[in-house]
C-alpha cells in the first residue's frame, strides 16, 4: 500500500516538475514577495527578516534575496529559537550547515522552555525556528513597496 502511494506521489511530482520548469523570473519574484508577506517581519523598517521551522523555506528566501537584491550571503545573519530539551549544539550545527553560514553570522541562540500547548502538530519543533536578517533601510523599502504594488494591483 505504501509503495502505491509513493508511486502516485512521484507521478504528481513529475507532472508539477514539468509545469514549474516553465515559470518565469517574474513568477520567482512574486513567490518571494508572497513568502515575505506571509512569513516576514514587517515591524522593523531597517531590516528584512523571515522566520520558519523549515530550512528549505529559509534557503529559498535567501536565494531570492541574493538573486533580486544582489546581496552577498555573508551580509545575512541568523538567530535560532530552540527548546531546552533539544541538543542545542547539534541544532546549531544543523542550521549552520543548512544555511552555509559561518559561526559569526549567528546571533545568540534563544532557548525556550518547552510547553505542550505551544505545538499543534508532531515534529513542529524538530530543528527549532530560524530567523534570518538582512539589514538595510533601502532594501526594506523596495521590498515593502513591491508588495504594496502587487496587492494594489490584485485587490
Percentage, residues of the chain above pLDDT 70: 94
pLDDT tens digit string along 1-19? 788 999 999 999 999 999 9
User: Quick one: which of 75, 43, 80 has its CA closest to 58?
Assistant: 80
What pLDDT digit, counting tens, does each position of 32-91 carry?
999 999 999 999 999 999 999 999 999 999 999 999 999 999 999 999 999 988 899 999
pLDDT of residue 114: 76
Grid coordinates representing 99?
544555511
112 forms bridges with which residues in the sheet?
Answer: 83
Band of residue 118 on the pLDDT scale cut at 50, 70, 90: low
Residue-range domain boundaries for the chain: 25-154
For residue 116, what pLDDT is reported?
A: 66
Angle at 52 between CA 50 and CA 56, to 5 degrees: 100
> Looking at per-residue confidence, does 116 or 58 come out higher?
58
Are 16 and 9 within 8 A, CB to CB?
no
Q: What is the pLDDT of residue 141?
A: 97
Provide the strand spans (E) within the chain: 47-52, 77-83, 110-112, 129-135
Amino acid at each position: 500500500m505504501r509503495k502505491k502511494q509513493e508511486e502516485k506521489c512521484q507521478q504528481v511530482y513529475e507532472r508539477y516538475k514539468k509545469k514549474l520548469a516553465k515559470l518565469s523570473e517574474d513568477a520567482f519574484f512574486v513567490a518571494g514577495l508572497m513568502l515575505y508577506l506571509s512569513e516576514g517581519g514587517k515591524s522593523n523598517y531597517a531590516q528584512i527578516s523571515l522566520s520558519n521551522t523549515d530550512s528549505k523555506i529559509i534557503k529559498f528566501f535567501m536565494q531570492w534575496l541574493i538573486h533580486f537584491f544582489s546581496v552577498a550571503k555573508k551580509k545575512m545573519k541568523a538567530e535560532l529559537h530552540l527548546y531546552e530539551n533539544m541538543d542545542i549544539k547539534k541544532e546549531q550545527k544543523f542550521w549552520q550547515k543548512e544555511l552555509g553560514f559561518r559561526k559569526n553570522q549567528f546571533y545568540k541562540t534563544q532557548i525556550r522552555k518547552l510547553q505542550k500547548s505551544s505545538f499543534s502538530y508532531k515534529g513542529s519543533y524538530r530543528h527549532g525556528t530560524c530567523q534570518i536578517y538582512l539589514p538595510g533601510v533601502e532594501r526594506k523599502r523596495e521590498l515593502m513597496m513591491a508588495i504594496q504594488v502587487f496587492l494594489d494591483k490584485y485587490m
